Amino acid sequence: MMLNFLASLTEYERELIMERVNAGIAAARQSGTRFGRPLSAPAVTANNLLIAQDTRVKGRTAEDAARLLGGVARRSTATSTQTPDPPKASDR
């Protein structure tokens, strides 16, 4: 019986926490706070894509293109340029 009481008390406390968190999120949104990943400027994204594609056309790897752009993952560079990486000498 004591465990049932503690379980119900814990469940009630969890509901209170969720209500407070949701109220805080709603208040933050009301005041103009944005959540999630920040948006990047479309012009910057388009420019980076052109640089990455140009690098790939010149025969360099997606890793090289990502390193050139700085702060961009190799996988996202390879996906956005849609060309497969040439096999590395270590893969043969």
| Residue spans per domain, the chain | 1-32, 42-83
Q: Tell me what pLDDT residue 52 has.
A: 82
pTM attached to this predicted model:
0.45
The most confident of the ranges 18-22, 47-51, 54-58, 85-89 is 18-22
Q: Tell me what pLDDT residue 58 has.
A: 86
Residue 28 or 68, more confident: 28
- What is d(CA 61, CA 87) in angstroms, rounded to the nearest whole number? 9
Q: Tell me what pLDDT residue 85 has.
A: 56
* pLDDT at residue 91 greater than cutoff 60: no
Q: Tell me what pLDDT residue 84 has.
A: 53
**Region 56-70 average pLDDT:** 80
Q: What's the chain's average pLDDT?
A: 82
Q: Which helix (H) or strand (E) holds 68?
A: helix 62-69
